[in-house]
Each structure stands twice: as C-alpha cells, then as structure tokens.
Amino acid sequence: MAVTAQRPEFADLLSLETIDRDIFRGSCHDGAPMRAFGGQVAAQAQIAAGRTVEPDRWMHSLHGYFLRPGRTDAPILYLVERIRDGRSFSTRRVSAVQNGETIFSMSASFQRPRDTAEEHQLKAPDVPLPETLRRWWGPIDEAPEYRPFLLIDVRSIPSGAEGAAHRPAFDPALAAADGMPRQNVWVRVDQPLPDDPLLHACALTYLSDLTLASTASLPYGAGPGRVDVVSLDHAMWFHRPFRADDWLLFAQDSPSVGGARGLSRGTFFTRDGQLVASAIQEAGLLRR
C-alpha cells in the first residue's frame, strides 16, 4: 500500500513545545545555509510571548534585535519575562537562547481591542492585482521536495523575480524624485490558517522578513562584489485585524543607506486598501 506524504502545515513552522512556565522550545529552518531564518525566530518569539497573555489581548507591537546567527541543527529556547499586566496593556520580554547564548531579544506589547471614533490611514498604492503577476515559487503540491518557503506565495511588482535571487532588479524609475529605492510585493500564506489573531500576526512577521531588508540593497545587488544583507533589528506594529492567508500588499522603501547599514520601511495593505500593519528593519550590508 502506497504511503501518501502528508502536506506540511505553515502553522507547524511556528509551533513550540512547552518546557515549563514561560519556557518554550522550538526549531528553525534555513534562511542562509545553516543559519536560522530570522523571520521564523521572531515569529516563534511572538508565539512564546502570546502564550503568557490573556487571550482577549492582541499583540499590537514588537521590537526585536538579532544578536547572533541562529543554527538549524539545534533547538532554540524561548524565555519569557512577564514585565507588566495592566488593565488594557500587557508587556513581555522574550530571549531566544541557543547553546547557552542569546541569539534574539524581543519586547512585545498586547492590548485589549478597543473601538474609537478617531481613525485615519495612509492610502494604498495603485498596483496590479496579484493574479496578474508571477509567483516566486511553485505551489507546494508541485514541489519535488518539501521546502518551507513553498508554503507561502510572493509576487513582485513589477514581476522581476528571476533565478535564485528571488527579487526584482533595481529599477531607477521606482526611486522617484526622493531617491529612495522601492519595491512592492503581494504576500500571503498559501494555505488556510486557523482563526487565531496571534498566529496571523506571527505569520505576518515571518512574511515581512523575506523582502524588507533587501529593499535597502536593491541599487547595489547586481554584478561582481554584490551586497548581502544581515538583519540587525526588526519592529512591527499591527493596526487593524487581518488574515495572513489572504493577499496583502507589502509596500516598501529605504530612506537611508550608510555606514554599512541600511534602513527599510514597509506597510501592509489588504486588497480593499486597509492599512493593517507597518514594519521597519535595519540590516547590515556586507559586500562579497
């Protein structure tokens, strides 16, 4: 009798084992060879923090620092400190520890949702719909072997993700008059996720780390002596409810590169133009 391989689940990438009160254990897949993918480390740290907070409080912000490269051949311990629980907000600090060293540190804040009359938002850019663009990787069912990134769908605007680089070449026209490199991509988890706001927030952090740092390196990434990027820190703000398994437009720019560091910013919009999250990341730019 033939055995059918079980379809992998994106939620499994963020699953953690409970070791003790406020102590959790996880493992990560490759980002670079033998280096844990930073977006997964940050997302697992969010999961750890969220498990110590009352379920009626949703994560609204996180600030994290990548301190050392994580490895894929050893587990990661997530140690949570309960900094404060107020009437509306809860604050947590998480340390991701591997082989006795802290590889990632994060502060996260949770809020009990509230409705207010005051509201405004940035307008979403006018871009082609994701169905008109080419995806970076094939669907998981068509993959000859399991790769975690096949569980997500990313489509560049304009579609220029060629070869192994998986990102568009720098287009001077996108820099506009202010000189900033820009890139816009549609992203989503390519399978239905459970109705858990924390899981969707963590999934979005995972997705944000795929392209945000590379925005700063777009003008310098082609030809001999190309620039590689290493994430230094990452911050997210979650403004409105959303689903990470629905299409989200990630509009990104880079206001500054200098001192071997590049700053990138991004905003996430739903298909109907709702601004649901913002992200900022600084990366080290390393020339080969």
Domain range list for the chain = 10-113, 127-288
Closest CA to 29 of 69, 66, 73: 73
Looking at the domain 127-288, which fold is it?
Answer: Thiol Ester Dehydrase; Chain A (3.10.129)
Give buried/exposed letters for 89-99 (b at 16+ CB in 10 A, else e): ebbbebbbbbe
Rounded distance between C-alpha atoms, residue 169 and residue 73, angstroms: 33
Fold of 10-113: Thiol Ester Dehydrase; Chain A (3.10.129)
pTM over 0.85: yes
Q: What is the pLDDT of residue 49?
A: 98
Do the domains at 10-113 and 127-288 have one common CATH topology?
yes
C-alpha–C-alpha distance, residues 270 and 87, integer Å? 30
- Residues sharing a CB contact under 8 Å with residue 256, sequence separation 6 or more, in sequence order: 262, 263
The predicted structure's pLDDT at residue 56: 92
User: Which residues have CB under 8 Å from 103's CB, separation 6+?
Assistant: 36, 41, 66, 67, 68, 69, 70, 76, 96, 97
Name the residue type at position 72.
T
d(CA 47, CA 52): 9
Please, which residues bridge with residue 97 across strands? 77, 102
Question: SS3 letters for 183-206?
Answer: EEEEEEECCCCCCCHHHHHHHHHH
Angle, helices 197-208/38-50, rounded to nearest 10 degrees: 160
DSSP 228-275: EEEEEEEEEEE-S---TTS-EEEEEEEEEEETTEEEEEEEEEETT--E
- pLDDT by 10s per residue, the chain, length 288: 444 456 679 999 999 999 999 999 999 987 766 689 999 999 999 999 999 999 999 999 999 999 999 999 999 999 999 999 999 999 999 999 999 999 999 999 999 998 888 899 999 999 999 999 998 877 666 655 447 788 999 999 873 433 333 445 555 555 566 778 999 999 999 999 999 999 999 999 999 999 999 899 888 865 455 667 889 999 999 999 999 999 999 999 999 999 999 999 999 999 999 999 999 999 998 766
43, 205 Cβ separation under 8 angstroms: yes
Give the catalytic positions in this structure. Answer: 209, 231, 281
> Could you give the CA distance from residue 225 to residue 96 in angstroms, rounded to a whole number?
33
CB 110 within 8 A of CB 237: no
Residue 128, SS3 per DSSP: coil
Q: Please give the pLDDT value at position 245.
A: 98
- Residue 31: the pLDDT is 72
Predicted pLDDT of residue 90: 98
Structure confidence at residue 219 (pLDDT): 85
